[in-house]
Structure 1
């Protein structure tokens, strides 16, 4: 999701390849030696960076939850207090689309492997995710004041489900193109919030 242009560190390379392999073949279907081979180092060499596969999985899932929350907070802060809520929501949607298109293996990992984390890491993931959801809920309710809080939260979760469907869209090369796919996801997400907020007929459907 990040827009960094500098070269990734070896640790970041390891995590990227681990995410790809875990998503393709499952956590237990991948050995440390295979992850090492993917980044050009020996399997035992990975232990200089991580104590094992469990640590890689935890850093991947806790890390992406933290980056999503940090990125969303940054977008809101960058927009400023006077930014119209519609523009804030657009910025949040844009950020999540970047994640959904650029970090597809992490979506698969979260769906399949979250329960493999130790309790403390899993609780941290859930805590970060709740904060991320509530940030969206605040912006959605600022834009659609008549929408009750539970309905706004349901709408946010529904849009996340829509945007996080990217692993099921086919292989990266089979998609119609990043910009085209991003625009489609953007329109669908905005349409979902407009429907939830009742902007079409002027009445909140959950009222």
Structure 2
């Protein structure tokens, strides 16, 4: 049985999470090359060199952002599908899950769109593999919902749906108020379901 983390270990984990979150925000705003290590540290109340206590450098921090979110998508999609239901119900669940991701992780979407080339090879390969696994989760459910479609068509449906939803950080930036976000959420879910139906 694993022992509970110490206060120091919890504080370190919290600082790492804060660094990942703030790095995503800064990279989304100014680009990977436009953010210094000192700015990353200052965003969480530490010096630039202190960032090295948590990550090997800026590239490692970028890798943590994109690998973690790719793992989250892959694992979350698997959980949605594992909950059962008809193919249509699971597709609706996947759409809700991805819309929630787009509305809560818009900075990460912008970082991935622009900064994938700045990852080290190992992290880039991990992100690509995790993304393929996430797409395959969608394709398997789509194959049940559309048994007459070939695999290529199903992939087009999945990617078109992602494109529609992932455009959110650009098309609805600034909509953080709950009523506006609920309207956007409902609209995105309706449009995405129509796109893959």
Give the TM-score normalised by the residue count of structure 1: 0.85
Whole-Å Cα distance in 1 between the matches of residues 161 and 19 of structure 2?
31
Shift, 1:12, TM fit: 0.6
Q: 2:34 aligns with which of 29, 38, 57?
A: 29
Q: Does 1:20 align with 2:22?
A: no
Alignment gaps of 5+ in structure 1: 1-6, 195-207
Deviations for 1:138-187, whole angstroms, at most 9, x for unmatched residues? 10111111122110110100100000001212432477721111111100
Written as runs of structure 1 = structure 2, the 5 A alignment for 1:131-146 is 131-146=133-148
Whole-Å Cα distance in 2 between the matches of residues 85 and 173 of structure 1?
32
Alignment gaps of 5+ in structure 2: 1-10
Give the TM-score normalised by the residue count of structure 2: 0.89
2:3 equivalent in structure 1: none
Whole-Å Cα distance in 1 between the matches of residues 125 and 176 of structure 2?
36
Bigger mean CA offset, 169-178 vs 116-125: 169-178
Whole-Å Cα distance in 2 between the matches of residues 12 and 161 of structure 1?
27
1:201 equivalent in structure 2: none
Higher percent of residues as helix? 2
CA RMSD of aligned residues (A): 1.6
The verdict on how the C-alpha distance between 1:181 and 1:134 changes in structure 2, with shifts beyond 3 A counting, is: same
2:125 equivalent in structure 1: 123
Q: Aligned residues, how many?
A: 185
Whole-Å Cα distance in 1 between the matches of residues 170 and 124 of structure 2?
24
Shift, 1:132, TM fit: 0.6
Whole-Å Cα distance in 1 between the matches of residues 127 and 46 of structure 2?
30
- Three-state SS of the structure 1 residue aligned to 2:46 is coil
